[in-house]
Every structure is written in structure tokens, then in C-alpha cells.
Structure 1
């Protein structure tokens, strides 16, 4: 069978793990008990062998629509048939701030009008389909158990309902049906680490869990200070970033999926279920701009812990990425038994880029900490000591080749963006020291900051092309450099920046969508091509705004909004056909949407006031 299109999904989660639900009512991606745990349902990557949890009208002949319950992460999939209208309401009650193996995926099944018969199929495939399981059926539900994980399926019903006569076990999978009339509500609760066997679960209980989950999300979202033009898109992006945050540590995954291709049929298929220092820092900056302080404070503690763990390390005070609990074992392996999304193999889990040297992460981390302190977060002595250690290491190590922001596998280079972000690291450290009276080797940090600036201006700008380029030994353009005015390295109206932006207009932009770089001109060690990178498109909006090209910026932003899926979610890239490709949803894209919206809003407001 053909896997459901990437964009035909909504996301639910409990702040420790997440699931994707298709527009026809199938959970086809769910890792348990954490984001980075092996999958239980993985039909997204192999419909035949990945496993799924499907609820849909029996007999086919339906159309479906999907929406989020307003201002929440509660997903509603509606089915329209000749006999009636029904819906499946999917959500996961927040699991709390303490790490736990206990999670609940709740699926409320309801007939809204007429009569509906739903077919149910629960087909788990533990450990990416590599471990067998046993299935135990009882009056009140089912237990699926492997060597490493136990899942309990509770049936939601009323006392007068029949027992589970319509349910059967077929080769370890469970199939059944639910026949409902208008107004009836039933459902299923899939629970990990349950404290007992399947039990009778009443409708009133799941209604109460629904109300509490809705209340949680609306209470959290009420903390947003955004009142601009694109409120719906910004708020959905904020909820999506929150859904990808691991509450016990504050670590934020780059995406909740693994192995979705940057080119259908290609090999650019990576595991994004980890916390990148860069992605997490950018995400916190975006949430800070919306008024959410707790997430920034958590990230500060998380970063401090990582720095202290690596004190004295020759390879630097930070890895580029970690597991969500802060551990650094990300060994990459290939799932040879899975065909991959639409035949896009290999399917990789783990991430071999974890050991790369990417110097830009220090600028992103220091910038996020600086923004947090300016927003009112504390700057404790231990935190300042950790930041000082980072900058002391960077002073000795910034001027060396590295792999760069895009994690290319074609060898180290003196990437311009990495130098720019090293400049930002020293700049933010100096500001913190001066503004808060902290002890620091100001002369040394200032000297290194200024050395970087001069080097970038002299070697990063290609005078024949009149543009800043990807690294010092090439004339290739790189959309990562769109952030140069964002971090304050150059004014958005500087002539050197204006000509750079014009060069990008010609070479990297196609109908407002932006490519990261041209892999043919700048070999990255991988075969194939990729789509336009949605982060870069929103960064382009920000750059256009800072260059005072407001009409271009607004047109680009509005066009980009049309590429969102039906519930406002974005994957990593957009293919030539306009379909979403790459891991989904991607934090990078949603945080960049927030940043672009806020910057463009402010510029348009200033223009209107003039």
C-alpha cells in the first residue's frame, strides 16, 4: 500500500511523546514512552510492516475533514457518509513534568447525525516492527505485550453496552466494530505502563479527561502576548512547538518523526527526534517573543547541565544534539526491513551527525540566553560561569573548519554562517557581562569578536558576486546567511547586504520559496536533490522586512501560508509539486513563522503610523 501523504496528518501529544493521525483516522506514527523511543505504530514509513491504530467508517464511501478543537492540541477527524456524520476526537492528556512510562492516547468515537458503523483495527509493531508481541483479549479490553513494552487497550462504553463480542484477534492484531446512533459516544484508550488489566472505562471519565486537556492548552496559550495580523497561524505554531517539548528536561525535538525524505525516493532521510542546540535555542527565542518565559528558563538549565557535563572536553563544551534526556548516544542505524516513505530508503534511526563540529550553535545558545535574561529571567552565578567557559573555549577554537549548519557530509569548511554566529556569541556574552556587572575577560572577548567581524567582511564577501557566500573558498550562496541582519551582524539596508539579497533573489528563490543552497554547485556528500527549505522561506521574509522591502515580505509570507497543511502544520521542505516533504512537523519551520510574523507585523505597524 501507499503511505498516506505527509501533509495528511495532524499532531497530538502529551509533552513527552507524540502521535500523528491521518485524515482518515489512522494513528500511523507513535513512539512510546518517549519521542526518541522505538515506534509502536510506524505505517507512515511502511504501511505493510510499520503498524497502525485505525478507526474509520465501515465499508468505505466516506469523505473526511480534520480540524483542531480551537486553541488546543485536541484533534477532530470528521467523517461524512450517506448514513450520517461521525467523528473521532484524538488527544493525549499532558503527562506532567516528571519522566514517566505512563501515557494515554485517547480516541473518542462519536456519531453526530444519523447512524454510523466504525471499524477498528489495532495492529502494533513493537521496536520498529522488530519485536514480536502477544495479544491477550479480555471482557474490558486488550493487552499487547512485547519484551520491552506493554500497552493496554481499554474500551470506553456504558453499562448497558454489549461485551466485546464484535472483537476478534487475528495474528496478534485486534479488529472490531462500533455501531452508533446520533448522540452516542464511545471510544478506546491506549495506555502504556498501566497499573492493572483492562478495566471498564466510562464515557464520563473520558469526557473529564477531554475537558482537562482542553483546559490545559487554553490556559497555556493564554500566556501569549501576540495580537498581530496572523494570530491563527502564530498560535498554531506556538502550540506545535510546545507539543515537541519534552517537559521533564525542556529539551525540544527538531521533529517528532524519523526517516521522512527530503526527496521522495532519495537517501536524505534523517532522524529528527532529538534536541539540537540550534533548534531548541531558536524555538525558545520564538516563544520568548510571544511572552512564554518558562520554556526559556528550562532550556537555560538544560544547556547549563550539558556544558557542565563536558567541562574540559577537547571537542567543545556542547554537542550539536542530544537525546531528550540529555544523553549523547545517538548511534545511527538503518532499518533494512522497512521500505521507507514511498520507497525512500534507507530508513535511518539515530543520527550520525551528532559528532560533527558546528560552531554556529554557540551563537544561537548565547543569543537565546541573552534574550531570556533581557525578558526577566535570572542570570545565576552557575549559569554565568558556564557561559564564560563556553566563550573562553570559543576564543581558542572559532577559527577552524567545521561541518556547518546544514550538517553536510562533504567535509569541513570555513563556513561564513558559523563565523557570524561565533561573532554573535561573543557579542551577547559581552552585553551580559557589561549590563549585569559579571566578571569577564572583556578585552579578550572583544578582540575575538572584532577579529571575526573583520574576517567575515574580508573573506566571506565575494566581490565579483557582490554577495556573502557559503564559505571562504567558494562563490556559492547560502540561505543560512539570511539571518545576518536578524542577529545584528549587518544592517538590513547596508549596500553589501542589499546586493547579497538580490543575488539570493536570482538564484535561491523560486516563486517566493527558498532553497538552502545549490547542492550541485556545493557538493554536500549526498546523492539527489531536495525541496525548498521552509525555514529559509520564513527567514527570507524576515530579511526582506529588515531590508525595508515590506510589500515583497508580506507577499512572500502570505504565499507561504498557503503551503501549510489543512490544520496549519509544516514539514521541513516543499517539493517541486508543492507537496510537503521531510520530517513533520518541523520546529525550525514553525519558529521561523513566528519570528517572521512578529517582525513583519511591527514593520507594517510602523509604516502605517508614518
Structure 2
């Protein structure tokens, strides 16, 4: 059985993550790291993928929520004979900034009968290496292990008296619990701690809750954003979980190949770090008062890209340790979520030409400068080389922000970010008094600007378009005023916003473009994009249409799942989540849109007071 994507909760410890369904099933988990092969992938194949389910036997009503601001999930089952609380988490045991973490690749599940009597049903079906490995399950010295030719996975905490079955490489058992009784189970990759499971689970729980409490207290929520405090903090939690503690890299999502269309082929692996996410992500971190995370991410991306002395070899996406080879391949033995094939691992976008990446890197460097971390001499030499390279290539075609797999085109957003690259290079050079071919940068910056205004703007409809010689709209043009290319009140910006509201917006949700109007080489359909909808909120707030912005923003808040989480896309007609989940880009958009909207509301309030005076 497949659960709705919106039915999942996210838990994690900044090394890896897991998805837990409403009925207590862990259907996705990769150990020891987020980009490792899965050990549970039931979300991608309900029969073969593997899962770990803990729930009362029979039917039960369910309530769930996170414990305070933490990523500790608590699910409450009300069964016929009693009530069971299930607490799920991955331990965070310290490690801040560059300090080594003591967090272990361990998934903790604590069941407690709080009323009456409950029979707990357990199914532990590990399927390592994306369900490709042969698995043997056995009991040794009171612990269960699953062994493959390459690794060992341990399950500890089952009572010695528990009668278990290991048929078909799947452990199943039923354990009765009375009011006040507990059962703590720990699933570990590699070596395990010999401490009794319940004692260890309680220690891990205390440490993890303390860590999240300290994190929440360190967050800064601006007064004007206070009405959405809980949703902003929850989005911050998602970004924190997707950020690798050791490197500062942030994955776009914890999952792979959740479909953008049920039964469709738009299924991608998002467990990597995209350069283009950097500036907006750092802005979200700084908005939350988490400047160190913003600096760590930007520094990671610049270090990863600086592996390439030749700017032409800079990639748009890297592994979470800075890896450059992200070979894309299909897992033909898995059915895919609700028969959505192929199941892709790796990401072929890593080898595409996407010219916007240079603007993202120079924007990242400028962001670092503005928050007190200017580039060093060697770094400036590299950044200066990027600016020189942009002067040479901005007139080339590329695959664009949406990573199309069809023919390259002159995408407006790519040209815009080439303009940003040159503009930010000039700003950095001016601020630090550093040398560079500034005359050429200034000349080419103006040439890019002229090309965009002449060929990327449709005067007959008063809107920017997706690419030169195209009439198709593209939601990425909502970012034009955010880059400083044109002021928000420029009639061409306002006209673009109105065109996107009219022609790309469906029931309050914004499509990035219409695939049938602008073939992207993939085929099939898709939902509306969460990040694009939040871009629209930001754009409306910037041009003073605050009431419209509030309406769309509150509509998006209502579309979150019961835990405040979002996927990449939403079906406007059904509300169904589509694409990888939870999606960093959507949560980044929420934080930044809330901040911009709060500023607009504060501006309007002050303007009202001024007029009354």
C-alpha cells in the first residue's frame, strides 16, 4: 500500500533522514548518510523496497506532531484496548559548526502504552542497497542483525521472550504492552552501543530534545513575522535537517524519484546540493538568525566549485561532500511510487550547461561579503576569472534554471543571472578596492541588460518571457526585481507579475511554465511549484499589493500537511503533494516570503499611521 506523500513526517540528525507514515511505517531511510543507498525504500516499491512498521494490531485512530520545535515525532494511536504513544527520531548528540559530531547512524523508536492494553505489531524488513542486496536476518546475543555481503544492520531492544519470525528476510513479532510499559528499539548501521536499549534511547532523547530547544532559542523571528512563527520555525527545521553537519552542504530534498506526476516519468534524485539554491538559502538562514549556517553553505559551494580552475567545468550541483560525479541511472527492479517509473538515482543535471550558476556564485560571494565574510585574495582571483568567463559566454544557449532535457535555448533567467554575475563582481571589486577588468565587466553587463530588454520582453503583452523568440511565460521572471535588475515598480515588472497571475496561476498556486507550451524534453505533466508561489507572494509584496500577497500566502500555509511540511509541487485541483518531499526550495520560499510580507505589512501600517497624523 502506498501512502499519500503528504502523509509522511520527516525525522533526521543532519547526517541522514527518514520518512515515517501516519500508520507508523518507516518507508524511506538511507544509512549512514542522506545520499547513501536506501535501507528502507517502501515508498518507491511497497513490495520490494523494505520498511519498518510499529503500530497496534487492528485499527486505530491517529494523531501526531513534533515535540516542541524539535524533529522528534510523536504519534498517538487510540486502539480498541488502549492508547499507544510512538516516539521516533534520529539522535543528535552535539557537534556545532566544524566540531565533529557524536551523532550515530541510529534510528530510535520508543513505544509506550499510556492507557489500557495494546498489542504492538512490529515488522522490520531492511532492504539495503536500494533493495538489491541479499539479506540474512538472525538473532545473536539478544540482538537482531541483518547481514548483506557488504554491511551489517542491527536491531536491539526486543525482549528475550519475544517470539519472532524471520521468514523471507523480514522480522515480524507481536508484543503486548500494559499501561506504563515501554518498548525501545534501536536500528543501527555498523557498530552498536552495548548499553541497554531503553536506557540508551532515553539518553538520546534527552540530548536530542535539548539540542533542538537550543537551536529554536537561537533563531531570530522578526516581530513582523511573528504571526507565522510556527511555520517559519518548522521550515527552518527542514533546512537544518537537510544541511550536512560536517560540510555545510544542503540537499534539495531527502528523497529520490518521488514523481511530479503520478504514473509519470518526471522522477529525479534530489539528495544533492545545487549551487542555485545558495543565495536564497543563505538569505533564509540569515533571516532566521542562523548566519553561521548561511556562511557554511556558501563556503561549501564556493569550495566545491573552486575544484575547477576552468570556469567552464563548474557544475550546477555537487554531492554533499563536494563530489563531482553524480552519475544518473535507473533502478529497473523497483516499481516506483504508485507505478511511477523510472526510479532514478544520481542526477544528470550535473553535466548540463546552465549559465545561471555563475550569477549564483558571484551572488553568494557578495552575500558573504555583506555578512562579514569577504573573499580572500585567492578566492577573488577565481571569482574574477568567473566574471571574465561570463563576458565570453553570456550569449550562449543553455539548459536554464529548470534543467530542460530538450534543446538548449536563450533562457531569460540565465541571461539575468549573467547580468547578476557581472554586477556583483563590480560591487565586490568596488567594496574591497580589488583589481579586475571592470571596464569590460561594466560594458558586458550593459550588453546583457540590453539583450534581455530587447529580446526577453514582449512589449505587446507587457511581460518578460521564458526565452528569446518565445511567447511562453516562466515563473522565474518573478525574480527580476529581487536581483536589482529592475525596480519592483517598473511597469515591465508589474506587467510580468500580472501575466503570471493571469496565465500561470491556478487556484492560488503558480506553475513554473506550461510543459505543453514549451516542451522541455521530458514529457508528461506536473503540478504547481511551491517555490514559484512563494516568489509571487514576495513579488506582490514588493510592489505594494500586500492584500493579494497575504491571500496567496495564507492559502499556501493552508496547503501544508498536518506537520507544516511541503513537497516540491502541489496538484491545484486535488491538493495532492507531488515530487520529492520535503522540498528545501519550498521551505526556503516560505521563510523568505514571510519575511518580505512582514516587512510590507509593517510598511503599510506605518504609512497608515503617517496618513492619519
TM-score clears 0.5:
yes
1:249 pairs, out of 247, 250, 262, with 247
Q: What corresponds to 1:424 in structure 2?
A: 420
Q: Matches of 2:260 and 2:275 in 1, distance apart?
A: 22
Q: What corresponds to 2:138 in structure 1?
A: 136
Counterparts of residues 486-565 of structure 1 (less than 5 Å): 486-565=482-561
Q: What corresponds to 2:310 in structure 1?
A: 312
Q: What corresponds to 2:187 in structure 1?
A: 190
Shift of 1:328: 1.4
User: How large is the Cα RMSD of the aligned pairs?
Assistant: 1.7
Shift of 1:102: 4.5
Q: What corresponds to 1:483 in structure 2?
A: 479
> Is 1:167 aligned with 2:169?
no
Q: What corresponds to 1:159 in structure 2?
A: none
1:315-354 per-position Cα deviation (integer Å, ceiling 9, x unaligned): 34x2011111111111111111111111111111111221
Q: What corresponds to 2:123 in structure 1?
A: 121
Q: Matches of 2:27 and 2:277 in 1, distance apart?
A: 25
1:163-222 per-position Cα deviation (integer Å, ceiling 9, x unaligned): 2432232222111223222222221001112157xx452433311211110111121222
Q: What's the TM-score once normalised by structure 1's chain length?
A: 0.95
Q: What corresponds to 2:345 in structure 1?
A: 349
Shift of 1:381: 2.6
Counterparts of residues 80-479 of structure 1 (less than 5 Å): 80-94=78-92, 96=95, 98=100, 102-155=104-157, 163-195=160-192, 199=194, 201-227=196-222, 228=225, 229-312=227-310, 315-316=312-313, 318-479=314-475
Residues 479 and 609 of structure 1: is their aligned pair in 2 closer, same or farther, counting only changes over 3 Å?
same
Is contact 1:154–1:200 with CA below 8 Å preserved after alignment?
no
Residues 75 and 195 of structure 1: is their aligned pair in 2 closer, same or farther, counting only changes over 3 Å?
closer
Q: Matches of 2:228 and 2:172 in 1, distance apart?
A: 43
Shift of 1:366: 2.3
> Is 1:23 aligned with 2:18?
no
SS of residue in 1 equivalent to 2:76: strand
Q: Matches of 2:521 and 2:120 in 1, distance apart?
A: 49
SS of residue in 2 equivalent to 1:259: coil
Is contact 2:92–2:207 with CA below 8 Å preserved after alignment?
no
Is contact 1:251–1:299 with CA below 8 Å preserved after alignment?
yes
- Structure 2: runs of 5+ lacking an equivalent: 608-613
1:419-478 per-position Cα deviation (integer Å, ceiling 9, x unaligned): 111111222222222122233222222222221111111111012222100000201000
Q: What corresponds to 1:52 in structure 2?
A: 51
Shift of 1:609: 1.2
1:102-122 per-position Cα deviation (integer Å, ceiling 9, x unaligned): 411111111122222211110
Counterparts of residues 36-47 of structure 1 (less than 5 Å): 36-47=35-46
Residues 26 and 262 of structure 1: is their aligned pair in 2 closer, same or farther, counting only changes over 3 Å?
same
Is contact 2:488–2:542 with CA below 8 Å preserved after alignment?
yes
Q: Matches of 2:101 and 2:606 in 1, distance apart?
A: 49
Q: What corresponds to 1:583 in structure 2?
A: 580
Deviates more, 1:69-78 or 1:291-300: 291-300
Is contact 1:282–1:364 with CA below 8 Å preserved after alignment?
no
Q: Matches of 1:371 and 1:183 in 2, distance apart?
A: 53
Deviates more, 1:451-460 or 1:236-245: 451-460
Structure 1's consecutive aligned runs of 4 or more residues displaced over 6 angstroms after TM superposition are none
Is contact 1:28–1:53 with CA below 8 Å preserved after alignment?
yes
Is contact 2:154–2:192 with CA below 8 Å preserved after alignment?
no
Counterparts of residues 4-19 of structure 1 (less than 5 Å): 4-19=3-18
SS of residue in 2 equivalent to 1:269: coil
Shift of 1:388: 1.9
Is contact 2:157–2:185 with CA below 8 Å preserved after alignment?
yes
Shift of 1:398: 1.7
Is contact 1:465–1:475 with CA below 8 Å preserved after alignment?
no
SS of residue in 1 equivalent to 2:408: coil
2:604 pairs, out of 576, 596, 607, with 607
Q: Matches of 1:459 and 1:49 in 2, distance apart?
A: 51
Shift of 1:101: 10
1:251-286 per-position Cα deviation (integer Å, ceiling 9, x unaligned): 111111011110001111111111111124422221
Is contact 2:64–2:74 with CA below 8 Å preserved after alignment?
yes
Residues 555 and 469 of structure 1: is their aligned pair in 2 closer, same or farther, counting only changes over 3 Å?
same
Is contact 2:358–2:421 with CA below 8 Å preserved after alignment?
yes
SS of residue in 2 equivalent to 1:7: helix
Shift of 1:378: 4.2
Residues 382 and 115 of structure 1: is their aligned pair in 2 closer, same or farther, counting only changes over 3 Å?
farther
Q: Matches of 1:456 and 1:187 in 2, distance apart?
A: 60
Shift of 1:389: 2.4
Q: What corresponds to 2:594 in structure 1?
A: 597
SS of residue in 2 equivalent to 1:27: strand
Q: What corresponds to 1:35 in structure 2?
A: 34
Q: What corresponds to 2:74 in structure 1?
A: 76
Q: What corresponds to 2:611 in structure 1?
A: none
Q: Matches of 2:101 and 2:205 in 1, distance apart?
A: 22
Q: What corresponds to 2:563 in structure 1?
A: 567
Is contact 1:277–1:365 with CA below 8 Å preserved after alignment?
yes
SS of residue in 1 equivalent to 2:64: strand
Shift of 1:152: 0.9
Deviates more, 1:126-135 or 1:375-384: 375-384
SS of residue in 2 equivalent to 1:246: coil
Is contact 1:513–1:537 with CA below 8 Å preserved after alignment?
yes
- Structure 1: runs of 5+ lacking an equivalent: 157-161
Q: Matches of 1:596 and 1:65 in 2, distance apart?
A: 30
